[in-house]
Amino acid sequence: MVQHSYSKHQKIRVLKRWKEPHGLTLRDIARREKIGKSCISRWIRNEANPVAIKRRGAVHPELEKELARWVLEERSVGLKVCDSHIRETALEIAKRDDLAEFRASVGWLVNFKKRHKLN
């Protein structure tokens, strides 16, 4: 699936068109604008703020900072760092820092790698 980025002006134009008494369905507007119906539906639901949804940052930034530093150090000496090892090390840091609620889930790992540009 291709993800598109739409400007604030495009979103506002589509939302205005949706509000007009025109007899068009959401599907009709989506076709005319060449934008996915689900995308427009989301804009309608979030109409109070048509600008892009802000991403949430790290819940434990210090843990992530230390972990990212560790990954980069390991890689700098030529070692490959697999995902399971990253999660394991994250849990060790969390335990040391008394972060009992931290889980190092697969979803957390994916987002951690995105936030720190670790591919």
Chain centroid to Cα 60, Å, comes to 16
DSSP summary character for residue 52: P
Amino acid 109: pLDDT: 95
pLDDT bracket for residue 6 (50, 70, 90): confident
Amino acid 69: pLDDT: 97
Phi, psi angles (nearest 5°) of residue 23: 80, 5
Structure tokens at 84: 């399971």
With 0-12 CB in 10 A as exposed, 13-18 as middle and 19+ as buried, what is 111?
middle
Each residue's pLDDT tens digit, 14-40: 888 888 887 888 899 999 989 999 998
Alpha-carbon span 68 to 116, nearest angstrom: 7
26-34's contacts with Cβ under 8 Å and 24+ in sequence apart are none
Alpha-carbon span 91 to 112, nearest angstrom: 13
Amino acid 48: pLDDT: 67
Cα atoms in the Cβ-side hemisphere of radius 13 Å centred on 59: 10
Amino acid 45: pLDDT: 86
pLDDT at 1 over 60: no
Amino acid 7: pLDDT: 84
Amino acid 111: pLDDT: 92
pTM across the whole model: 0.55
pLDDT bracket for residue 51 (50, 70, 90): low
